[in-house]
Amino acid sequence: MARVKRGTTKTRKRERLLKRTKGYRWRRKSTARAAKQALMKAWSYQYRDRRRRKRDFRALWNVRINAAARADGITYHAFIAGLKRNNIALDRKVLAELALAHPEIFKEILKAIKS
């Protein structure tokens, strides 16, 4: 059987690996072994945090809605219950944006809930 020399394949594989770790600190950007470990860790965090981001944003929206509602003398729970009771179908992302950027519209929604 013919002999297989792996020089170019190995080099190309290592270069592709190191290109992905560009910008990492210390040996993790220049040493193949450390770079591979760093990438595997980074990819696992990436997978996990794509799901975590959704949780974090929803929590942020809830805090913003609560703060805006309490400024007008109503709790978050009562506000959300009022929305459901009055069939106002706005999600938390939109409500948080209204509370932050358009407080006059948010106050109109609060008036509709209180009445």
Local structure of residue 30 (DSSP, 8 states): T
Separation CA 100–CA 38 (nearest Å): 39
CATH class of residue range 8-114? mainly alpha
Tokens standing for 23? 């910008």
pLDDT tens digit at each of 115 positions of the chain: 888 877 888 899 999 999 999 999 999 999 999 999 999 999 999 999 999 999 999 999 999 999 999 999 999 999 999 999 999 999 999 999 999 999 999 999 999 998 8
Residue 31 phi/psi, 5-degree rounding, is: -105, 130
Helices (runs of H) and strands (runs of E) counted in the chain: 5, 0
Q: What residue ranges in 1-115 does DSSP mark as E strands?
A: none
Q: How far apart (Å, rounded) are the C-alpha atoms in residues 39 and 77? A: 43
Domain boundaries, the chain: 8-114
